[in-house]
Amino acid sequence: MSKNAPPKSRWRPVVHTQKKGRRRGLIQLELSYKTSTIGLFQYLSNTHDWMQQLVNLHESTKKLHSVKKESDNFSRELELENDKNNHLKPTDIARKSKKLAKSVGVEQLESGWQKKPLHGQFVTI
């Protein structure tokens, strides 16, 4: 961390994109990794293709860095519930879970910023 950075700030890696409306156009890399992992696990666990079921079986037997373990970890961290939607396609289930994870993650980030002192205010001397 830089010497000039505020002591209570937390550095987060971001990627700059085009601005959309009033937003800054920043993508949180950590949040996008979490949502992608959750979506991939939902897709692999609900697919009917035999090759992808083999991939899911292989991933569930890995000891470190398996998609299932990381997805469970991230779902617990974002406080998501796993609901079974067997009537939807696997891609729709994955897309729905990714949107839900992203919205919850953005809410957590915004609430964290709102709790910090002097958010949206300038220091007056």
Cβ neighbours around 46 below 10 Å, total: 20
Q: Tens of pLDDT along 45-77?
A: 888 899 999 999 998 898 888 998 999 999 898
pLDDT at 14 over 60: yes
Question: What mean pLDDT is predicted for residues 89-109?
Answer: 89
pLDDT at 36: 93
More confident residue, 115 or 41: 41
pLDDT at residue 1 greater than cutoff 90? no
Average pLDDT in the chain? 79
Query: Is the pLDDT at 23 greater than 60, yes or no?
Result: no
Q: What is the pTM of this model?
A: 0.68
pLDDT at residue number 37: 93
Predicted local confidence at residue 91, as pLDDT: 87
pLDDT of residue 16: 59
